[in-house]
Structure formats: structure tokens, C-alpha cells
Amino acid sequence: MYQLENGWVQSVKQVPSPNYDLRPENIEISLLVIHGISLPPGIFDNEFVEEFFTNQLDHTKDPYFEQLINLKVSSHLYIKRSGEIIQFVSLDHRAWHAGLSEYNGRSNCNDFSIGIELEGTENIKYTNQQYMSLIELSKCCIHNYSKLTIDRIVGHSKISPGRKTDPGMLFDWQYFLNNLALKF
């Protein structure tokens, strides 16, 4: 199982993002949000997501990037198609991944959630390597944050309905949750 040190997952690539801030006082992590992203959409195996989350994206490299100018976003973790994990923000800090959001009557999900991005799109299946990495990361998060449970893992679409649809219909929730449950 992965180990945490000051909110940083040990033995994964760390690429610190400036796009974070402190969580509000007395707020415990109690939600894990799964996202899907690729830049440009449907194009994989490049460094554009890492560059985007660290404000280094060259907006002239693709016409799609023009709409991302001045956006400051991040996720705690990103899982590439190969299963490689990259961490951008300490889990103890607030990453800027959820945007306008609500879960069980609580707004501003960034305050109390961990965001994990999967490299992909809604119309392409995620890889087995991504599921394996996601399962291990989820296990680590649940083990380290007592308010986080298997039933408090959701897609971005659940907390931002009508605005977001990721990780998409091809994300295999049953496979993911069944295999995660086997780890406990």
C-alpha cells in the first residue's frame, strides 16, 4: 500500500502545482472525486495535462488550448493511461478540481475532497493499469482519512450534474468498487 508523508504519496512522481490553497479549518477529508481529462481531448501520452496543472501550458500548441487561457486548476493526483501516477497537490491541501459543486447538501466540494484525474475521455474505456492504480490510491486515501469510505467515492458528474459528465459512462464503477472492496 502507498504511504503518505505530509499528504504526499510516497513513491509516485511529484510535480507540485501552484494551484492550491489551504482547506478551511476543522474540515476533514470525506469525499474522493474521480475525473477524466485529456488535452487536447482524446489525445494521450503527452505532457499537456501536467503543464496545464502547473500553469506551464503553451496555449499556441493547439487551438483547443485557447479556451484554457487564464484557467487555474489542479487535481491532487493524475493517473496516465499506463497507470503512472503523478501528484500535484498534497492531499492535506485544497486542490482546485471540483469547481461549482455540491455533495449531500454541502457545497464547495474542493474543501473536503480529494480529486483524482484519469487520463481519458468519456467515449474511450479506461485502461486496466489505470484501474489498478486508482484502486491502490483509493485504498491509501481511505486508510489515511477516517471520514472517507468506499461509499463516498463519486464521479465529477455526481457533484456537478448538468455541468460535468466525467469520468463518463465507460468508467466501470462495478469493476472499480468490487476490486477496491476486496482490498479491505
Written as one letter, the residue type at 107 is S
Predicted pLDDT of residue 123: 93
Predicted pLDDT of residue 183: 80
- Cα 168 from Cα 99, distance rounded (Å): 17
Predicted pLDDT of residue 184: 79
Angle of helix 128-144 relative to helix 173-181, nearest 10 degrees?
Answer: 50
Predicted pLDDT of residue 1: 86
As annotated, the active-site residues are 117
Walk along the chain (184 residues) in steps of 10 and give the mean pLDDT of each run: 96 98 98 98 98 98 97 98 99 98 98 99 97 98 98 98 96 98 86
Number of domains in the chain: 1
Closest CA to 78 of 110, 30, 119, 31: 119
Instruction: Find the domain containing 42 and state its range.
Output: 4-181
Cis ω on the peptide bond leading into residue 16 (within 30° of 0)?
A: no
CATH value at residue 134: 3.40.80.10
